[in-house]
Structure 1
Amino acid sequence: MQLSSDANALDTITEVKKVLEQAKETFPPDLDYTIVMDNTNFINASINEVKDTFVESLLLVILVVFVFLQKWRTTLIPVLAVPVSIVGTFASFKVLDFTINTLTLFAMVLAIGLVVDDAIVVIENVEEHMSKDKLSAKDATEAAMKEVQGPIIATTAVLASIFIPVAFIGGVTGVLYKQFAVTITISVVISAFVALTLTPALCGVLLKPDDKAIQAGPLGAFFRGFNRVFDHFKDRYTGKVGWMIRHLKYAAVFLILVTGLMGICYKVLPSTFVPDEDQGVFMASITMPEGRIDYRQVQ
Structure 2
Amino acid sequence: MWQAGVFVFVGWIASVCFHEFGHAIAAYMGGDKSVKEKGYLTFNPLKYAHPQTSLVFPVLFMLMGGIGLPGGAVYINHNLLRNRFWQSLVSAAGPLANLVLALILAIPFQQGWIPLQDNGWFLPSLAFLVLLQVSSVILNLLPIPPLDGYGIIEPWLPANIQRQCQKFSNWGFWIVFGLFWFVPAFSQGFWQLVFIITNQLAVEPNLILQGNSLFRQPITRAVVLAGLLGGLWLLKQQNGSNSRVYAVSSRREPGVTGLRKQLASLVDRRTGDRLIASEKQKNPHQSERWYLEKVIYDLRRHR
| Same-fold call, TM cutoff 0.5 | no
Q: Place the TM-score, normalised by the shorter chain, in its bin.
A: under 0.3
Q: Relative CO higher for 1 or 2, CA cutoff 8 Å, sep ≥ 6? A: 2
Work out which of the two has the higher radius of gyration on C-alpha atoms and give 1 or 2: 1
Q: TM-score, normalised by structure 2?
A: 0.26
Q: TM-score, normalised by structure 1?
A: 0.26
